[in-house]
Structure 1
Amino acid sequence: MAETLTPWRDAPQVLCALADELAAKGWLPATSGNLSVCVRQHPLALAITRSGADKQHLTPPDVIYVDSELRVLDAVDPSHRPSAETIVHTKLYQALSCGCILHVHTVYNNLASEVYFAEGAVSIAGHELLKALDHWEPDACIQVPIVENLHDIPALADAVLAAVRPGVPGVLVRNHGIYAWGDTPAAAKRYLEAFEFLFQYVLTLRLLRG
């Protein structure tokens, strides 16, 4: 992936539009999740949804700008703070060439993370929608890694980063959600939609097969 930065002034509108689309799918319930875009790589600066924001009704003032140390660089309301999970975003931006990270909690990604936790990953093979994840080979197979839901958030960030696999733009957190990323907001959303469809597919197929 080649990182594409979102202009500073455009970030709130970009994140609000993403939130509207993801919320319409029911993927951002009860203020859960966090969405971010990279606005500057060196030194790192990102725009991210603030702690406690209802992403189903996100507005530009709900977007804040932070640096790699989670210091607020800009916020409409000075009382707005970053979520504790912002550190997962900063570590991924520092390690990967990505421009957008989406973290959502859904029924299917939670079920997949629990059902396949003992295996360490969700294995998906031979499905057409793997092309949406940039796997065009006829025998395509990916392993979506799963990490434990650690309550120590810096440790969780390290675990997510350590689990990243080439060609798989996402990591599941057990009974928590998924972090998916892309070089642009559109790519990150496409990857996330593909993951969610595939999780539903493999779980339904497993159930039907008994």
Structure 2
Amino acid sequence: MSLSRQGSNAQYTRVDAQHHDDDDDEYENEARTEGTVDELVESDDPEHPANLIPELCRGFYTLGWVTGTGGGISIKKGNLVYLAPSGVQKERILPSHIFVLPYPQPSVVKAHTERTFLRKPKQEGLKESACTPLFWNAFDLRSAAACIHTHSQHAVMATLLWKGETFEISHQEMIKGIRLGGTGKTLSYLDTLVVPIIENTPHEEDLTDSMNEMMKKYPDAAGILVRRHGLYVWGPTWQGTKTQAECLDYLFEIGVKMKLMGLSVCPAKEGGL
């Protein structure tokens, strides 16, 4: 299924594709054949992405992940991508603030390029998140259903104490909450968790290519750390993405504490338990 804009009255019409998966079927059952673009974010279903994003952002705010309007989340459902806005207090986001984009776009949503939207908020001053092309990396390279970006201090501290291009930790129970590549099978207690680190840039969109390259270099990674900035993490569902974000944040926090205390963070490589 795809949606296309029609006319100046900002309407959309559903166009059925020749092939779609079960997720598409689920969404098509919810979608109207024709309606206003605001109907893309109007639903009584608490698990509709336009309702989930504000709820999740409120939770992330209390964790200190999205303070100062930074950070965000994007959820892909069927052939639609729902995107939290930029410049809004994350604990006060409403469904009416959500941007909706078609997926896939004709090409990867690259930095500083025009993007196709099915729905933009009516409120003045709202713009799409600068994280958009980085979220797209997760959708295109990992077939993810959601991507979360945090400004967690635990993530930032991990990038400061691990000077190389990866954060590594082993023999921690919470590693079992992480999936290979973010969407594959779960890791075991004995596995070494490896999270790549890329260097920060003055403008978020300029991280797109380095994130893309590091995801290809480390196909088993479930997230990407940005030095002095934060974390991008993705998953097969919004629930799985949230779970992995929580597990990774725990592992960054305990890893930092262990390193500062002089404890072995990665016994698999540092001479045993």
Aligned residues of 1:50 and 1:63 also touching (Cα < 8 A) = yes
Rounded to whole Å, the distance in 1 between the matches of 2:219 and 2:178 is 12
Residue from 58, 62, 65 that aligns with 1:20 = 58
Partner of 1:207: 260
Q: Distance in 2 between matches of 1:92 and 1:136?
A: 19
CA contact (8 A) 1:4 1:184 kept: no
User: How far is the alpha carbon of 1:78 from its aligned partner?
Assistant: 5.9
Change in 2 beyond 3 A, CA 1:3/1:83: farther
Alignment partner, residue 145 of structure 1: 196
Matches for 1:17-56 after TM superposition, within 5 Å: 17-41=55-79, 45-56=80-91
The unaligned stretches of length 5 or more in structure 2 are 1-20, 28-39, 42-47, 110-114, 180-185, 264-273
Contact 1:4/1:98 (8 A) holds in 2 = no
Aligned to 1:127: 172
The TM-score with structure 1 as length reference comes to: 0.88
Seen in structure 2, the aligned counterparts of structure 1 residues 78 and 25 have a Cα distance that, compared at 3 Å, is: closer
1-side partners of 2:96 and 2:69: how far apart?
15
1:99 aligns with 2:145: yes
Q: Which has the larger radius of gyration?
A: 2
Q: 1-side partners of 2:158 and 2:54: how far apart?
A: 28
Match of 1:64 in 2: 99
| Distance apart, 1:137 and its partner CA | 3.3
**Residue 87 (structure 1) aligns with:** 133
Alpha-carbon offset, residue 85 of structure 1: 2.1
- Deviation (angstroms), 1:3: 10
Superposition RMSD in Å: 2.3
1:95 maps to a residue whose letter is L
Contact 1:147–1:172 (Cα < 8 Å) also in 2: yes
C-alpha displacement of 1:169: 1.2
Q: Deviations over 1:115-149 (max 9, x none)?
A: 21x32111111111100114443521021100001
Contact 1:3–1:183 under 8 Å retained in 2:
no
Q: Which residue of 1 aligns with 2:182?
A: none
Query: Normalised by the size of structure 2, how large is the TM-score?
Result: 0.69
Q: Flag the structure with higher helix content.
A: 1
1:186 aligns with 2:239: yes
- Which structure would you say has the larger RCO, counting Cα contacts within 8 Å and 6 or more residues apart? 1
Aligned equivalents of 1:66, 1:151: Cα separation in 2: 26
Give 2:209's match in structure 1, choosing from 118, 143, 158: 158
Return 185-194 or 148-157, whichever deviates more. Answer: 148-157
Residue matched to 2:249: 196
Q: Give the distance between the partners of 1:145 and 1:30, measured in 2 at CA.
A: 25
Distance 1:103 1:187 in 2: 14
SS in 1 for 2:128: coil
Higher mean C-alpha deviation, range 155-164 or range 101-110 = 155-164
Residues 3 and 97, structure 1, Cα contact 8 Å, conserved in 2: no
